[in-house]
Amino acid sequence: MLSSFFIAFREGLEAFLIVGIIISYLFKIGEKRYIKHVIFGVIFAIVLSIGLAYIFELLFGGLEGKVEEIFEGSVMLLAVVVLTYMIFWMNNQARRIKSDIKILVEKAINKGRIFSLFFLGFIVVFREGAETVLFFRAISYQIGSRELIIGGAIGIISSIVLALIFFVSTIKINLSLFFRITGILIMLIAAGLLSTSMHEFQEAGVLPIIKDNIYDISHILSTDSIAGGILKSLFGYNPSPSLLEIIIYLTYIAAIIILIRRFFLRLDRPKIELNQS
């Protein structure tokens, strides 16, 4: 549940903050009549994202055996790639995203392109919605559907509440730091997904096992326990992994540490202020 919460929370917050910037800027420049077009785009994106999830389940929900294992591993691997790219992309964009959005809004209004405002609201939310569908499908192989839905719902609601707090208060938010910290946590989730994807590929015979069950600590921390269940749902914890799973997991973590030291810990970047003054 925690993994679905964090993913939904971060994806939702990213979308709602950007939509909030668009709407607040339209208020500020006295173009409130265009807000409805942005909202229509957001609603359409939400409906389309739900439809995408349904189609995804309809097409791939009934797979079995080796095909299912290969598909599960592939979805997890794709989710890791998208998660990693998304985090670094947002980290680079966070510093100037507010000014970039203002420029896009001004161009759309000056040229009378109402559809551009609709599309701006749509693409912001649909991108996050499509990513969430992919990520939820990937982590659904680690946690139950009930936990997935509850965690996701709480995450979305929390992101809406926090976004509203940002915009109705005078608090100055350092978005670069916020997305950097949450990005680190989600990368740990991605590491678990990557390791689990290797497990699925080994089960399907696509990758060699080399050495199975390199250690077994299930008697110390079983996935059936509360702590073990949390670690499994959040970080893909496996009490008896294969050698390949360990190598892939540690390699990814090492790469994360190097990238964090190079990009994420530069705390001297300017703050992004969301106060409406």
Q: What pLDDT, on a 0 to 100 scale, did the predictor assign at position 267?
A: 46
Is residue 169 classed as helix, strand or coil in its secondary structure?
A: coil
Query: Is position 274 within any domain?
Result: no
Asked whether the CA dihedral 155, 32, 37, 21 is positive or negative, the reply is: negative
Task: Measure the CA–CA gap between 235 and 230, rounded to whole angstroms.
Answer: 8
Query: Is position 192 within any domain?
Result: yes
Query: Is position 181 within any domain?
Result: yes
Query: Is position 31 within any domain?
Result: yes
Query: Is position 270 within any domain?
Result: no
3-state class percentages of the chain: helix first, strand second, coil last, to nearest 5:
75, 0, 25
**CA distances for 230 relative to 12, 137, 235, angstroms:** 22, 18, 8
Query: Is position 269 within any domain?
Result: no
Task: Measure the CA–CA gap between 197 and 184, rounded to whole angstroms.
Answer: 20
Whole-prediction pTM: 0.75
Neighbours of 56 (CB within 10 A): 16
Task: Measure the CA–CA gap between 61 and 57, rounded to whole angstroms.
Answer: 5
Q: What pLDDT, on a 0 to 100 scale, did the predictor assign at position 204?
A: 87
| C-alpha torsion 234→240→242→244, nearest 10 | 30
Q: What pLDDT, on a 0 to 100 scale, did the predictor assign at position 170?
A: 59
Q: Along the chain (277 residues), what's the average pLDDT of each consecutive run of 10 residues?
A: 81 86 85 88 92 84 81 89 79 69 82 81 89 84 79 89 78 68 80 88 87 86 79 78 89 82 56 46
Chain center to CA of 39:
22
28 with 105: CB under 8 angstroms? no
Q: What pLDDT, on a 0 to 100 scale, did the predictor assign at position 42?
A: 92
Number of domains in the chain: 1
- Give the residue carrying structure tokens 């073990």: 228
Q: Which two tokens stand for residue 78?
A: 């794709």
Q: What pLDDT, on a 0 to 100 scale, did the predictor assign at position 154?
A: 92
Q: Domain range spanning residue 13?
A: 2-264
Query: Is position 277 within any domain?
Result: no
Q: What pLDDT, on a 0 to 100 scale, did the predictor assign at position 268?
A: 47
88 with 263: CB under 8 angstroms? yes
Task: Measure the CA–CA gap between 187 and 180, rounded to whole angstroms.
Answer: 10
Is residue 124 classed as helix, strand or coil in its secondary structure?
A: helix
